Structure 1
Amino acid sequence: MLNRIRQSIVYRIGTLMLLTVLVALSSMVASYVISDAAENDAAAVNLAGSLRAMNYRLAATAPAGDREATRQVADQVARRLQRVLDISDFVADDSSSAAARYTEVQNHWQQEIRPLVESVAAGQTPMNSFQLARRLEPFIGEVDALVSEYQQIAETKIRLLRVVQLGSLFATVLLVYLSLYILHRSVEQPLQQLTDRSMSIAQGDVDLSPLDIDSEDELGVLARTINYMSDEIHATHRDLERRVQLKTAQLQKSHEALDFQYRLARRIGEGPLQGAELEQWLSEFSRLADLENLDLCLMTPEGEAPYEHLVRGFGNNHCDPGDCQVCVSTCGSTVEGDQRNYRFPLEVDKRNYGVLVCSLPQEEELDEEQQQRLATFADSVTAAIAINEREAQERRVALMDERAIIARELHDSLAQSLSYLKIQVTRLTRANRGEQVDRDQVQEIIAELKEGLDSSYRQLRELLTTFRLQIGQGGLRGILEQAILSYREQHPQLSILLDYRLDEIPLTPHEEIHLLQLVREASQNAVYHSQGDRVEISLLQGVNHSLEVQIRDNGIGISDAPEKRNHFGMSIMQERASNLDGELAIRRRETGGTEVSFTFVPDYARNREVIWQEA
């Protein structure tokens, strides 16, 4: 029972309410019982008091000799004495003082007073009223004592009722005060603390002292739960703060690593990395990755020993220069003596350029993120070396292509011109061997030799100009405008017009060079051989993303056999057209003059068509 009261506020408050109700019920029951017991006390006092008056009536009636009246009064006294006994709280044989007093009055009345009164009324005992009254005074005194007894009994009950009511009132006030105290101490104060703590937790303040509620009831359980919850939340906040700080540090390191990789990639794109600069990048990577001992060995694909060995920190203590191939071909983690070595080969397209080695004490290991950073750095170094090698190879290929172009140009121009001149020299020799020399034929051959030499010299100058040609910032349009301006200055009698509409067409350098040479060759033929006064050059976009190039003049027109002498440029234009997979057409215009038309599809349009077909 006590445990239930101590462990439950509801049970405790219910007990107090039950006690209050019991006190109230007890007070009401006691008041009812006492009131019920005192119900006839007033009647008994009145009856006892009326006996005194009846005695005085007997003292006045009996000496007068009225026996009937005296008898009636005596009967009334006897009935009232019996009535007093009937409404009293005791019986005649009770041992209480009131019962003894009543018995004494009853016996005195029956044994002495009533016989005396009846005797006086019958005249047997002569006695006047005064004498009879004096004789009745002891009995009247006994009746007064009986009345006093009844008054004391009534007063005792009233005092008892007052005590019961006062006790009930005190008990009720005490229970109410105790209830309020318990509610204040066990409910209001803890509930206020719980409310304040809940508001603090709702505002995010969990770093508070524990609730001082040491009880076993529901609020105590709730307080301990909130204390535990606050501790858990506070611990969770501390753990989250620690994780946030750790994650922030990791993100900072990741940001630095990404920035490092970005700067390294940008630097790789700018040009080749030299050994000293690569050593600086290795030192910066070592600092960012918190790795002190790094070895970077760079080897040629055919070599057996590194041509560059960059060491950060102490490096690999077990590095054996005579066993480089084993080190380069080994990948992953290996334990060598007191060291644990992680190797990352510099490989691309099955070609090995060296190895990156990270050395740690034997008991330590790299985490996954550090291994990823090492692998990324190794890939970047590999890409830098591969790009450098590829650029060198591209330069070698470009040099060979350029030499092949020079050889082809010489073959297609000067070589053919020289062959033609050699043939003319042979003709001239034969003409001079005869007995009779045909002067006209010799003069014709000499004129053709002169014209061939002029043509060869002109072709040589064009080849020199071609080999020195560079397309600047103005692009194809700019170099064409410069060439036309040069033609106008050299041949002011000619009207040379340019219609260029390829500003929005992306052309590759290869396409621009061949277009430029083709236009220059056709325009030179028009300037030097057309004998006209107008040359029109147009570069337009045709159907299906093709490009159309036209060079027209208003001269004498091309001959019926254009492949005859001094037309070696036509074969060169044909070859340039085939390099662009285009179609070249040279024809005589109906209105007079010659038209050179060239049509081809640029690379961007071909790639777009391939993508559309695949889609």
Structure 2
Amino acid sequence: MPLSSSPLPTPRHSVVFNTLLAFVVIISFTLLSMLISLYTADALQGDAEAINHAGSLRMQAYRLAITAQQDNPALLQQHIEGLDRTLQSQSLRSALTRHGGPTLSERYNVVRQHWQQHMRPLLNNPAPTILRYHEELPHFVEELNHFVLTLQQASEQKLEIIRGLQIATLFISVIIAFVLIYGLHNNLASPLSRLTELTRQVSRGDFSGQVHIAGETELSQLGETFNHMSRELGELYGEMERKVDAKTAELQQSNASLQLLLNCARMLYSQPSDPSRLMGQLLGKVQQVLGSGQVSLCLNQPTEQTSHTALNSHQGQPDYCRLPHCDECPIKQGEPLPSGLPLASFDLRASGAALGVLHVELPDGQPLQDWQSQLLVTLADLFAASLSLAQLGQHEARLALMEERAVIARELHDSLAQSLSAQKLQLARLKRQASRSGVPEELSETLAQIEQGLNAAYRKLRELLTTFRIRVDAPGLKPAVEATCKEFMENSGLRIQLDYQLEHCPLTPNEEIHCLQIVREALSNVLKHAQAAHCWLVLHQAEDGNIEVLIDDDGIGIRHSESPSGHYGLSILKERASSLGGQLEIVPRTAGGTRVQLHFTPSFRKIPLHQETA
């Protein structure tokens, strides 16, 4: 649900504008006060000099009185001119101009007139009238005091104006500052604090808070926007939580389904020969995961239409089952079940063969959901695959048993049966000789041949038993070859040097068995006939990919590679080489002795590799 984007109205009272206006007023008032103070201070410039000059007039007046008594006209005239200059000085005139008050001007005019009209004439006479000057001097000094006092009061009034202006400026600035701080606290700090608290609540996932800011300012609009955003975020989070809960429930169902399939596959793999019992144990878990009614399973042979096993999730036979009379089953008859619930069925098929049916009762008549149907289809396929693999394993076991019996029959026919047949002929010959009353030498010779034949037959029987008891327990051919070499060295004293180089050549069990039997037969021939002290056994892969097995000895050698009459060792070696699709050669060694050489192409080199084309 997207946030609404309706335009906001312009605030009627702007906090920023009011704050800026207050600062402008303070700054403007302060600047105006400073300008007035500067102007007033400029008006006071030179007042000190003027007051000093005005005060010096009293001293000059007294000095003139003293000078007049000394009878020194030149000095007297000089002091008179000095007083005139002081009285007419520019500092006094500037002070009169700056202050411009009538009282100060009147005082100045009284002093000047008194000097010009009374005091100076008394000193300018040829005979100065000292007594009259002394009489007028206190009045003149009194007038000067009034003038200086008036000038000082005018200057102090200007200073009072500056002081009052500064105090007023400070007072007004403080008032405006307090008003500004109060307004900022009410209109800015407090709303911001409430907005900050609201943001903290939102950050904690609590969208129930609301903030109300009075007025029509930017912060009031911001508060309304926050409230609106908080409400919509609350709705969004609520919707998201509902969706997350729904997805979580779906994931839990998927997880339970996958866990069920994993457990089923693991249990069925642990006992692949008889999976039907495990299937019955899994039906209760299937019902629990589905949350449905009873789950039942009917199994039958691919060649038959009737079932041989019926299981349900309550560890028993379904109450509607009529085994072995499957034709009377309510499901096949189209009749309702005793529970009155509808039923959903899923066929167990593998390679086109019907192996059974998986039934699920639907509570309240509600159809299965998609995930339930998918789970049941997958389970049906898994059960069908397990049953098919079990039947295939049984079929392969029967074929392997028949093949093993055929191999034993062939080995007995090729070796022991021929030896026994020859002894049967010898025994018939012995009977004929005995019936004709033959000479003792002939009878002894025939008995010796029969005894030799029986010993050979017994030896071949022992060899066949040893061959059939050969086991390759550890993976690979190398452990079995090493064990064989160790066995022959311990039992015969023959020194055998092994060079095994087939670590990276995977052989089938049949190839490993035949190679091991050829090695054992060749080593047995070395012990029986070669009279050798050393033997070298090499197994490696040639550059063309063929496997080569070399058995060399340092014995007396062999003249021909054909088995003599009554001996089948070399023939058996060649037959085993032919079963591998290889060739066996028996040749003399250059250094003396015999070499038995086997080479064949392993099965993994016969796999056709076709390049896929687009």
The two structures have a TM-score, normalised by structure 2, of: 0.61
Question: Any idea what SS the aligned residue of 1:507 has?
Answer: coil
> Matches of 1:380 and 1:374 in 2, distance apart?
10
> Matches of 2:332 and 2:521 in 1, distance apart?
56
> Matches of 1:208 and 1:418 in 2, distance apart?
104
Q: How does 1:313-328 map to 2 (within 5 A)?
A: 322-323=326-327
CA contact under 8 A between 1:553 and 1:594: conserved in structure 2?
Answer: yes
CA contact under 8 A between 2:13 and 2:215: conserved in structure 1?
Answer: no
- Letter of the aligned partner of 1:595 in structure 2? R
> Matches of 1:477 and 1:431 in 2, distance apart?
54
Q: Which residue of 1 aligns with 2:604?
A: 604
Segments of 5+ residues of structure 2 without an aligned counterpart are: 1-7, 19-177
Shift of 1:462: 0.6
Question: Any idea what SS the aligned residue of 2:307 has?
Answer: coil
Q: Which residue of 1 aligns with 2:460?
A: 459
Q: How does 1:339-418 map to 2 (within 5 A)?
A: 339-361=341-363, 363-418=365-420
> Matches of 1:205 and 1:362 in 2, distance apart?
41
Question: Any idea what SS the aligned residue of 2:587 has?
Answer: strand
Q: How does 1:165-184 map to 2 (within 5 A)?
A: none
> Matches of 2:612 and 2:410 in 1, distance apart?
38
Q: Once structures 1 and 2 are overlaid, which stretch shifts more, 348-357 or 213-222? A: 213-222
Query: Are the structure 2 counterparts of residues 226 and 558 from structure 1 closer, same or farther at C-alpha, using a change threshold of 3 Å?
Result: same
- Letter of the aligned partner of 2:467 in structure 1? T
Q: Which residue of 2 aligns with 1:301?
A: 302
Question: Any idea what SS the aligned residue of 1:369 has?
Answer: helix
- Letter of the aligned partner of 1:387 in structure 2? L
Q: Which residue of 2 aligns with 1:164?
A: none
Deviations 1:439-469 (A, max 9, x none): 8877666554443322211110011111222
Query: Are the structure 2 counterparts of residues 7 and 269 from structure 1 closer, same or farther at C-alpha, using a change threshold of 3 Å?
Result: closer
Query: Are the structure 2 counterparts of residues 180 and 470 from structure 1 closer, same or farther at C-alpha, using a change threshold of 3 Å?
Result: closer
Deviations 1:346-392 (A, max 9, x none): 11111121111111146412111111111222222222222222222
Q: Which residue of 2 aligns with 1:153?
A: none
CA contact under 8 A between 1:413 and 1:569: conserved in structure 2?
Answer: no
Query: Are the structure 2 counterparts of residues 559 and 327 from structure 1 closer, same or farther at C-alpha, using a change threshold of 3 Å?
Result: farther
Query: Are the structure 2 counterparts of residues 328 and 452 from structure 1 closer, same or farther at C-alpha, using a change threshold of 3 Å?
Result: farther
Shift of 1:600: 2.0
> Matches of 2:571 and 2:331 in 1, distance apart?
58
- Letter of the aligned partner of 1:466 in structure 2? T
Shift of 1:282: 1.2
Q: Which residue of 1 aligns with 2:175?
A: none
Question: Any idea what SS the aligned residue of 1:307 has?
Answer: strand
> Matches of 2:577 and 2:186 in 1, distance apart?
106
- Letter of the aligned partner of 1:360 in structure 2? L
> Matches of 1:495 and 1:312 in 2, distance apart?
66
Q: Percent identity?
A: 35
Shift of 1:546: 2.8
CA contact under 8 A between 1:416 and 1:568: conserved in structure 2?
Answer: no
> Matches of 2:331 and 2:554 in 1, distance apart?
75
Q: Which residue of 2 aligns with 1:574?
A: 574
CA contact under 8 A between 1:294 and 1:315: conserved in structure 2?
Answer: no
Q: Which residue of 1 aligns with 2:11?
A: 9
Q: Once structures 1 and 2 are overlaid, which stretch shifts more, 247-256 or 514-523? A: 247-256
Q: How does 1:546-561 map to 2 (within 5 A)?
A: 546-560=546-560
Q: Which residue of 2 aligns with 1:287?
A: 288
Shift of 1:477: 3.7
Question: Any idea what SS the aligned residue of 1:9 has?
Answer: coil
Shift of 1:255: 2.6
> Matches of 2:515 and 2:15 in 1, distance apart?
106
Query: Are the structure 2 counterparts of residues 452 and 458 from structure 1 closer, same or farther at C-alpha, using a change threshold of 3 Å?
Result: same
> Matches of 2:497 and 2:198 in 1, distance apart?
92
Q: Which residue of 2 aligns with 1:208?
A: 208
Question: Any idea what SS the aligned residue of 2:342 has?
Answer: strand
Query: Are the structure 2 counterparts of residues 296 and 393 from structure 1 closer, same or farther at C-alpha, using a change threshold of 3 Å?
Result: same
Question: Any idea what SS the aligned residue of 2:466 has?
Answer: helix
Shift of 1:405: 0.9
Shift of 1:480: 3.5
CA contact under 8 A between 1:548 and 1:600: conserved in structure 2?
Answer: yes
Query: Are the structure 2 counterparts of residues 454 and 614 from structure 1 closer, same or farther at C-alpha, using a change threshold of 3 Å?
Result: farther
Query: Are the structure 2 counterparts of residues 276 and 613 from structure 1 closer, same or farther at C-alpha, using a change threshold of 3 Å?
Result: closer
> Matches of 1:326 and 1:420 in 2, distance apart?
70
Shift of 1:425: 5.3
> Matches of 1:606 and 1:613 in 2, distance apart?
16
CA contact under 8 A between 1:295 and 1:357: conserved in structure 2?
Answer: yes
Q: How does 1:487-566 map to 2 (within 5 A)?
A: 487-492=488-493, 494-560=494-560, 562-566=562-566
- Letter of the aligned partner of 2:311 in structure 1? L
Q: Which residue of 2 aligns with 1:242?
A: 242
Query: Are the structure 2 counterparts of residues 578 and 399 from structure 1 closer, same or farther at C-alpha, using a change threshold of 3 Å?
Result: same
Shift of 1:196: 5.5
> Matches of 1:509 and 1:385 in 2, distance apart?
26
> Matches of 1:223 and 1:241 in 2, distance apart?
26
Shift of 1:304: 3.1
- Letter of the aligned partner of 1:501 in structure 2? Q
Segments of 5+ residues of structure 1 without an aligned counterpart are: 1-5, 17-176
- Letter of the aligned partner of 1:279 in structure 2? G
State the structure with more CA Rg. 1
CA contact under 8 A between 1:304 and 1:325: conserved in structure 2?
Answer: no
> Matches of 2:476 and 2:293 in 1, distance apart?
51
Shift of 1:572: 2.2
Shift of 1:539: 2.0
- Letter of the aligned partner of 1:451 in structure 2? Q
CA contact under 8 A between 1:327 and 1:355: conserved in structure 2?
Answer: no
> Over aligned residues, Cα RMSD in angstroms?
4.5
CA contact under 8 A between 2:207 and 2:234: conserved in structure 1?
Answer: yes
- Letter of the aligned partner of 2:521 in structure 1? E
Deviations 1:6-29 (A, max 9, x none): 97534999999xxxxxxxxxxxxx
- Letter of the aligned partner of 1:369 in structure 2? W
> Matches of 1:375 and 1:223 in 2, distance apart?
57
Query: Are the structure 2 counterparts of residues 187 and 591 from structure 1 closer, same or farther at C-alpha, using a change threshold of 3 Å?
Result: closer
- Letter of the aligned partner of 2:349 in structure 1? E
Deviations 1:41-87 (A, max 9, x none): xxxxxxxxxxxxxxxxxxxxxxxxxxxxxxxxxxxxxxxxxxxxxxx
Query: Are the structure 2 counterparts of residues 181 and 9 from structure 1 closer, same or farther at C-alpha, using a change threshold of 3 Å?
Result: farther
Deviations 1:506-543 (A, max 9, x none): 33321211111111112212221224444333223322
CA contact under 8 A between 1:315 and 1:358: conserved in structure 2?
Answer: no
Shift of 1:231: 1.9
Query: Are the structure 2 counterparts of residues 516 and 13 from structure 1 closer, same or farther at C-alpha, using a change threshold of 3 Å?
Result: closer
Question: Any idea what SS the aligned residue of 2:535 has?
Answer: strand
Shift of 1:583: 1.9
Question: Any idea what SS the aligned residue of 2:540 has?
Answer: strand
Q: Which residue of 2 aligns with 1:468?
A: 469
What is the aligned residue count? 448
